[in-house]
Amino acid sequence: MTERVYNFNPGPSTLPYTALEEASQDILNYKGLGMGIMEVSHRSKEFMAVVEEAEADLRELLSIPQDYAVLFLQGGASMQFAMAPMNLIMPDKKGAYLNTGTWSKKAIKEAEIVARVQVAYSSEGSGFDHVPDDNDYEVDDDAEYLYFVSNNTIYGTQFHSFPDKDKMLISDMSSDILSRPIDIRRFGLIFAGAQKNMGPAGVTIVIIRKDLLDNAPPTLPTFFRYKTHAEKGSMFNTPPCFAIYCVGRVLKWIRQNGGVEAMERRNREKAGILYNILYKSGFYRPHARQSSRSFMNVTFNLPTSELEAMFIAEAAQNGLVGLKGHRSIGGIRASIYNAFPVEGVKRLVEFMAEFEKKYG
């Protein structure tokens, strides 16, 4: 068996090894049924128990109140870029957006197709190297909600405190959900593609306040209504069964390892180790401003693109994979989500010191 590498990929990303071990067994024979979890009917009591348990664990970990629905949907976060405004913006209202990176730009583009949009703030002019403070922008009175991406994977920036503008918040938390405690009551809707910090690709989690389920216009097709999926317990159509099962295994792992509070402590420790070398070195240049730096995705550049290519290749030879930055900005990106071990960050820092000594 090939030794496991340290996987810095931004998504799909590293998963807890114990969750992978359990899944490898259940793929072949789930709970003695004589068939694997991917073969179990989504209408069976066995699979319904999988969904109910995953929802219960997610509610416990994030302290989700009962007046919020939890949905397991398909289509990725990209479908939510359109689904959220289609369901939530009333005819006389608009959506306010904070443009802090590629994924917020895509969300704005989709929202503009179906509704009026205010771009209340944009950091594009500075290369998306920061997120705004509350005093950096104003939100129009007729905005239904304020939308933001809590963590920007490509640019390595993160909201360390959430916006406070007396507006309902909507957030794409695909890359940092479950990495820290959050006050759900501040949000009307949270969504997250699972493949970065919660499970494999294929399922998107939506947490929505139940009173918002009736906001959709009568012209909206059935499948695109949040209420449809809430009323059917995410079983309106065949859900992404295996992905939901895997999310459940990851949630168990988080519970067994101290919950989101413990995840936050570990994530801060990992990021601190890596940022320590970045801010001490003149060889490595962090992309994000220090006040906005992400604890999930650490982005930086070397003096030349040639050195960056050498860094990525030599790192891979040392069992450190997935470090190539996004094609839009290049450089290096180390994604250190919940399941990524502290030991992997320490190994990367050792490699960085050796690389700088050799080529700096």
167 belongs to the catalytic site:
no
- What is the pTM (predicted TM-score) of this model? 0.97
pLDDT at residue 276, rounded to an integer: 96
- Share the mean pLDDT of the chain: 97
Residue 49 in tokens: 């128990």
Cβ partners under 8 Å of residue 269, min gap 6: 342
Residue 360 predicted with pLDDT over 90? no
Please give the average per-residue pLDDT across 188-194, as a whole number. 98
196 belongs to the catalytic site:
yes
pLDDT at residue 2, rounded to an integer: 63
Residue 3 predicted with pLDDT over 90? no
Residue 224 in tokens: 């695109």
172 belongs to the catalytic site:
yes
- Contact of 220 with 303, CB cutoff 8 Å: no
Report angle CA 122, 128, 129 to the nearest 5 degrees: 125
Our separate counts of H helices and E strands in the chain read 9, 14
**What residue segments make up the domains of the chain, in order of their start?**
17-256, 259-359
DSSP string, 65-108: -TTEEEEEESSHHHHHHHHHHHHH--TT-EEEEEE-SHHHHHHH
1 pLDDT band, cuts 50/70/90, is: very low
Read off the pLDDT of residues 51-96 as tens digits, 9 standing for 90 and up: 999 999 999 999 999 999 999 999 999 999 999 999 999 989 999 9
- Per DSSP, what are the bridge partners of residue 158? 151
Residue 142, CB-side half-sphere exposure with 13 Å CA sphere:
9
Read off the pLDDT of residues 238-270 as tens digits, 9 standing for 90 and up: 999 999 999 999 999 999 999 999 999 999 999
Residue 36, CB-side half-sphere exposure with 13 Å CA sphere:
10
With respect to CATH, is domain 259-359 assigned 3.90.1150.10? yes
Active-site hit among 94, 167, 196, 324: 196
Q: Which CATH number fits domain 17-256: 3.30.70.20, 3.40.50.300, 3.30.450.70, 3.40.640.10?
A: 3.40.640.10
Residue 4's alpha-carbon distances to 38, 74, 244, in angstroms, are 25, 30, 24
Read off the pLDDT of residues 89-115 as tens digits, 9 standing for 90 and up: 998 999 999 999 999 999 999 999 999
Active-site hit among 26, 57, 103, 176: 103
Read off the pLDDT of residues 215-230 as tens digits, 9 standing for 90 and up: 999 999 999 999 999 9
Complete edge-to-edge strand list for the sheet that includes strand 187-193:
68-73, 204-209, 187-193, 169-172, 143-149, 94-99, 116-122
Active-site hit among 26, 57, 172, 176: 172
Nearest in space to 173 (alpha carbons), one of 188, 154, 194:
194
Burial pattern 114-130, b for ≥16 Cβ within 10 A else e, equals bbbbbbbbbbeeeebbb
